[in-house]
Structure 1
Amino acid sequence: MKSSSRRRPRKRVCPPAPEWSARTYVRIAPADIGLFRFLLEGHDNLGIFTVVDKFKGILLMRYSPHLGREMKAFIRQAATEMELEVLPRM
């Protein structure tokens, strides 16, 4: 009998747990906060956000530092759906 030539899947090495979360502040229209939450939830486990000022639409997004590239891509994509401004660090 011939043995199966199937390869074993590679083990995925998870990066070590970060000591701190990466943070990004964004400003959107207050009416778009619900849409922003919906879009972020569609990108499973990418990050979470807190509403810092609901009247000005300022959000604090927290995410793992190793997901920085994915978060920037999400922000670019969300900017096509709504007016979005990335704020300097506070």
Structure 2
Amino acid sequence: MELASRTMIIAPARIGFFRFILEAYDNLALLTTIDEREGRVILRYSEEMAPEVEQLLLALAPQLSPPPPTT
């Protein structure tokens, strides 16, 4: 089984929510937090599950988007 990974930046306050959603999908993917303050995470999943992961990411994008940078 080949693994794919994707490094992402999401809203820091939504990391727990995202982890919960992934667990609800029978561990569709594994989420590892790299930097909690910045919301930097790595998502690892089987290449076989890539279409499902992509579909989920598209559906959750509005909820996971980080806030705009402050000036």
Please classify the TM superposition score into its range, dividing by the shorter chain length: 0.7 to 0.9
Question: How far did residue 67 of structure 1 move?
Answer: 0.7
Contact 1:22/1:63 (<8 A) preserved: yes
Structure 1: gaps of 5 or more residues: 1-17, 85-90
* Distance (whole Å) between structure 2 residues aligned to residue 28 and residue 44 of structure 1: 21
Rg comparison, structure with higher value:
1
More helix by share: 2
Contact 1:39/1:78 (<8 A) preserved: no
Q: Percent identity?
A: 35
Question: Which residue of structure 2 lines up, in the alignment, with residue 73 of structure 1?
Answer: 55
Which of the residues 38, 51, 67 maps onto 1:56?
Answer: 38
* Distance (whole Å) between structure 1 residues aligned to residue 40 and residue 46 of structure 2: 20
Q: Deviations over 1:17-59 (max 9, x none)?
A: x2x4100111111111111111111211311110011111011
Q: Which amino acid letter does the alignment assign opposite residue 44 of structure 1? A: D
Normalising by structure 2, report the TM-score.
0.81
Structure 2: gaps of 5 or more residues: 67-71
* Distance (whole Å) between structure 1 residues aligned to residue 63 and residue 21 of structure 2: 9
Question: Which residue of structure 1 lines up, in the alignment, with residue 11 of structure 2?
Answer: 29
Question: How far did residue 80 of structure 1 move?
Answer: 3.3
SS at 1:23's partner residue?
strand
SS at 1:81's partner residue?
helix
Please identify runs of 4+ aligned residues in structure 1 that moved more than 2 A.
Answer: none
Count of aligned pairs between the two proteins = 66
